[in-house]
């Protein structure tokens, strides 16, 4: 195959870059063997899925940087750019870094980017692109090796990406492959395999996750720094800083983060019934060792009928019925575990922990969750290391301790 061969493929008038990239992919597929595609883990994303993925992007800044690892014919970048340009009047410049190891496809990649550049130019947006024909994993080994304390989103300012879009190649790497040796990738594969065997989600167990309904600035008139006896009925108000792994520390006084909320008709819509929950932070700090920080919350019959959960926390509950103590402890233990943290990081590159993502996270059988919970309750030891060791006992220890 030569570059001349593909010069036959030209974009149609006003063709969307994603459609052109798709046609380039089809043409390329017709010219290489199935074995070649398989060897490169090459399955191209259909346009509808590429556009769905691109459609998830938020509004762009004036200048954006995109990373497309394993770009193929750049259909994902094209779909993302189509979305970013739709109605964004302030967007002026796009900078794309794309990685692709297959030398055979590179002329197609180049073609796709050239058309994208022309398409953007006609919309007064500048495109600067760089196709790196090197192995993405090996080139970025530092990021993977650093125990995930740095990510592709938080590199030095000039190297940061605003969007990373990818359909990674799927193939099993041999133990000798240098990419396996990049710390984490082999262990991650083991972890992903554990989750692949789990077919249940929270909803299958009648469990739901929601975001804390108390938005501090709107509920200010109900929030109190101190307990006031007699005059008003106060409930505990839980904030992000009250939740640490496996335990809730309350009250912890901090300026502007009152630990009580008034129970009255006007505040009732933002309060939740005092029942068993798992409280989970919605944000982690960049230097937190773990993304998921969860604690079981147990109802205390001596406390008021309601509690307040601030908006930077999520809470897990059973809408019809009560979360059993063993379920609350088991779920919190799993969420705090190295196993879940590793899995979560395989698809979430930032510090946010959304309820939507957690609704979709695969879970082991409910019986296992309860068993883990019961074991921790019986041991009566909620220390992070002890809880982590208990979770590890339930799954192949080699797979988890190597993470």
Ligand X SMILES: C[S@@+](CC[C@H](N)C(=O)[O-])C[C@H]1O[C@@H](n2cnc3c(N)ncnc32)[C@H](O)[C@@H]1O
Nearest to ligand X of 101, 402 (CB atom): 101
List of residues 6+ apart from 302 with CB closer than 8 A? none
Closest distance of CB 177 from ligand X, Å: 10
Give the footprint of ligand X on residues 156-195 (CB under 6 A). 167, 169
d(CA 372, CA 391): 7
Residue from 28, 44, 129, 343 touching ligand X (CB under 6 A): that is 44
Binding pattern to ligand X, positions 105-134, x when CB under 6 A? Answer: x-----------------------------
* Residue 274 interacting with ligand X (CB under 6 A): no
d(CA 20, CA 114): 11
Nearest to ligand X of 101, 247 (CB atom): 101
Phi, psi at residue 23, to the nearest 5°? Answer: -65, -35
Residue 69 contacts residue 41 (beta carbons within 8 Å): no
# residues near ligand X by CB under 6 A: 22
d(CA 308, CA 238): 6
* Residue 213 interacting with ligand X (CB under 6 A): no
Residue from 72, 107, 308, 373 touching ligand X (CB under 6 A): that is 72
Single out the residue of 58, 60, 73 nearest to residue 28, CA to CA: 73
Which residue's C-beta sits nearest to ligand X?
Answer: 70
Encoded tokens for 72: 């193929």
**Kind and range of the H or E element at 286?**
none
Single out the residue of 402, 403, 381, 401 nearest to residue 393, CA to CA: 401
* Residue 40 interacting with ligand X (CB under 6 A): yes
**Kind and range of the H or E element at 310?**
none
Nearest to ligand X of 101, 210 (CB atom): 101
Residue span binding ligand X (CB under 6 A) among the ranges 71-79, 151-159, 267-275, 383-391: 71-79
* Residue 96 interacting with ligand X (CB under 6 A): no
Closest distance of CB 72 from ligand X, Å: 3
Nearest to ligand X of 167, 326 (CB atom): 167
Q: Is 87 exposed, middle or buried (0-12, 13-18, 19+ CB in 10 A)?
A: exposed
Residue from 6, 36, 93, 101 touching ligand X (CB under 6 A): that is 101
Nearest to ligand X of 36, 257 (CB atom): 36
Residue from 15, 110, 135, 399 touching ligand X (CB under 6 A): that is 135
* Residue 82 interacting with ligand X (CB under 6 A): no
Nearest to ligand X of 102, 341 (CB atom): 102
List Cα–Cα distances, 94 to 21, 106, 246, in angstroms. Answer: 18, 20, 44
**Kind and range of the H or E element at 365?**
none
Phi, psi at residue 134, to the nearest 5°? Answer: -130, 165
Residues near ligand X (CB under 6 A): 40-45, 69-72, 75-76, 99-102, 105, 135-137, 167, 169
């Amino acid at each position: 195959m030569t570059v001349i061969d593909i010069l036959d493929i030209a974009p149609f008038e006003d063709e969307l870059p994603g459609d052109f990239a798709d046609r380039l992919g089809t043409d390329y597929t017709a010219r290489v063997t199935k074995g070649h595609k398989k060897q490169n883990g090459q399955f191209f994303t259909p346009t509808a899925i590429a556009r769905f993925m691109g459609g998830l992007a938020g509004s762009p800044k004036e200048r954006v940087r995109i990373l497309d690892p394993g770009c193929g014919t750049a259909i994902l970048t094209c779909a993302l750019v189509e979305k970013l340009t739709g109605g964004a009047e302030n967007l002026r410049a796009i900078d794309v870094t794309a990685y692709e190891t297959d030398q055979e496809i590179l002329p197609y990649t180049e073609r796709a980017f050239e058309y994208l550049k022309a398409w953007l130019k006609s919309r007064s947006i500048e495109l600067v692109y760089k196709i790196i024909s090197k192995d993405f994993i090996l080139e970025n080994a530092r990021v993977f090796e650093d125990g995930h304390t740095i990510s592709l989103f938080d590199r030095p300012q000039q190297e940061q990406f605003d969007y990373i879009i990818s359909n990674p190649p799927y193939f099993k790497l041999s133990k000798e492959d240098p990419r396996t040796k990049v710390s984490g990738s082999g262990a991650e594969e083991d972890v992903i395999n554990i989750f692949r065997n789990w077919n249940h989600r929270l909803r299958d167990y009648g469990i739901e996750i929601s975001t804390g309904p108390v938005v501090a600035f709107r509920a200010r008139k109900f929030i109190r720094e101190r307990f006031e006896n007699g005059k008003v009925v106060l409930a505990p108000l839980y904030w992000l800083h009250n939740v640490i792994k496996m335990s809730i520390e309350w009250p912890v006084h901090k300026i502007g983060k009152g630990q009580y909320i008034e129970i009255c008709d006007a505040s009732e819509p933002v309060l939740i019934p005092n029942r068993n929950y798992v409280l989970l932070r919605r944000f982690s700090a960049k230097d937190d060792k773990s993304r998921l920080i969860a604690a079981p919350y147990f109802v205390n019959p001596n406390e008021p009928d309601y509690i307040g959960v601030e908006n930077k926390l999520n809470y897990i509950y059973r809408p019809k019925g009560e979360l059993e103590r063993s379920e609350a402890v088991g779920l919190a233990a799993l969420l705090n575990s190295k196993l879940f943290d590793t899995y979560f990081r395989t698809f979430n590159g930032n510090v946010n922990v959304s309820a939507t993502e957690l609704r979709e996270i695969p879970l082991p059988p409910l019986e296992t969750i309860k068993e883990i919970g019961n074991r921790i309750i019986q041991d009566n030891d909620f220390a992070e290391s002890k809880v982590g060791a208990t979770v590890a006992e339930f799954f192949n220890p080699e797979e988890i301790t190597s993470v």
